[in-house]
Amino acid sequence: MGASTQKASTRKERADGIVAGRRTKAQIADNFSDLHPPLAPHEAAVAADRCYFCHDAPCVTACPTDIDIPLFIRQIQTGSPMGAAQTIFDQNILGGMCARVCPTETLCEEACVRETAESRPVEIGRLQRYATDTAMRANKHPYDRAAPTGKTVAIVGAGPAGLACAHRLAMLGHDVVIHEARPKPGGLNEYGIAAYKTPMNFAAAEVDWLLSIGGITIETGSALGEAISLDGLRTNYDAVFLGMGLGGVNALRAEGADMAEDAVSFIADLRQSADLTVLPIGRDVVVIGGGMTAIDAAVQSKLLGAENVTVAYRRGQEDMGASRFEQDLAASKGVKLMFNVQPDAVKGDGKVEAITLTYTETRDGKLEPTGETATLPADQVFKAIGQTLVAVPDGLTLEGGKIAVTGPGRTALADVWAGGDCAAGGEDLTVTAVAEGRDAAMDIHAKLTGAA
């Protein structure tokens, strides 16, 4: 068998010509290796030495979970990474994942005094990973449960908000049952983040480590509105926390939109694939959107072997949801970024062949088409234009399409709290979801113990 014939036989081709096998196993392993390799002990010591240990540290103010960053870096500097991890976990029990996926370049590191003075911040994210990885490798959970309270709490969604809420409640002595719609816990940490940010199955390992505190049961395949109802949960539990994220996908308003694929589903398929060489990808890929999901979908398309990948965003670069670091990362991988363009039509006869984009400009604060268009060849189009709440249980109110909350996640129902992407008010970030889950847990505890 000739080399070209053998290569072709290893590809699994879809009806529309999108194929797998564009990269070898060795190339895939290299392409999807750790984006930020972990620090060695001597590297961590050098990085920690750069911290000024500010008394009124702006990095702490910039952290949604309020980690005492100068303290944990000082603990690393003095040879106590386990103590540093404890400082981190006290505020952020998912500190290991957040160290990998947080946009530190726009949060703590952007606020770092070293960044202001030298345009080179302390590597807070990598130092956090060094500490938390050290603690997790020790294979001993850093917290013990309090005496049982006899109270039970239902949590909907095993994503960052739900897991953070569950851990804090379990630590305080409550029994927790998490109802998760998908086959595996983790939420977006498991299904929605680029594989090169969380290699070696870290999301699942972190969940197992978190659950080792005890007192938490996870029921998978248990979706709100299907296997369970909010009324039923309120009847059977002392309190309910909703952290199910956003399950719907915004519609693409363009001719031929039904031929565009959902970027979130693409990333989920990629994250759950045991062999990325069998995952089909187009030769010419266009991603519609400007957030982290768009960048993750575009970069991973390129890493899978797509020849031409374009991110098309309807506004200017300064308005893009993805950070400049993520934009630069995409560009470094060969992704083309187009700004002020919006989809007009996805063209093709049953399969994608091209996409027409209309140029836009902002007039009097409103986005308007200019009348100028561009057509790009494409055999695969992904939409990454945001997600929506699938259904809102009776008794809850909405704000901006999400569950309205006050204070630490209180909803319109006295025994129901909400946090994470499904709740109004916060940024759609893992670290924000953790903070909201943690704070809701403390409020639930106060309510259940009569302290509130």
pLDDT at 428 (0 to 100): 87
Is the pLDDT assigned to residue 4 strictly greater than 60?
A: no
pLDDT at 9 (0 to 100): 35
pLDDT at 221 (0 to 100): 96
pLDDT at 139 (0 to 100): 83
Condensed to tens digits (0 to 9), the pLDDT of residues 320-332 reads 999 999 999 999 9
Element (H, E) at 231: helix 230-236
Cβ burial of 150 (10 Å; 0-12, 13-18, 19+) is: exposed
Average pLDDT, the chain: 94
Distance CA(286)–CA(355), nearest Å, equals 8
pLDDT at 228 (0 to 100): 95
Domain 41-137 homologous superfamily, CATH? Alpha-helical ferredoxin (1.10.1060.10)
- Give the global pTM: 0.94
pLDDT at 83 (0 to 100): 98
Condensed to tens digits (0 to 9), the pLDDT of residues 241-253 reads 999 999 888 999 9
The two tokens of residue 269 are 């398929």
pLDDT at 140 (0 to 100): 87
Give the lowest-confidence range in 7-16, 51-60, 210-219: 7-16
187-191 mean pLDDT? 96
Condensed to tens digits (0 to 9), the pLDDT of residues 396-438 reads 999 999 999 999 999 999 999 999 999 998 788 999 999 999 9
- Do domains 152-247+389-448 and 249-386 share one topology? The answer is yes
Distance CA(333)–CA(421), nearest Å, equals 29
- If one looks up domain 249-386 in CATH, what number appears? 3.50.50.60
Is the pLDDT assigned to residue 8 strictly greater than 50?
A: no
Nearest Cα to Cα of residue 134 among 199, 197, 75: 75
pLDDT at 2 (0 to 100): 41
The two tokens of residue 314 are 């309807």
Distance CA(435)–CA(132), nearest Å, equals 17
- Banded pLDDT at 7 (limits 50, 70, 90): very low
Q: Is the dihedral of CA 203, 205, 208, 211 positive or negative?
A: negative
Give the lowest-confidence range in 1-15, 208-222, 287-301: 1-15
Return the domain boundaries, the chain: 41-137, 152-247+389-448, 249-386
Distance CA(244)–CA(242), nearest Å, equals 6
CB 409, CB 67: distance < 8 Å: no
Classify domain 152-247+389-448 at the CATH topology level: FAD/NAD(P)-binding domain (3.50.50)
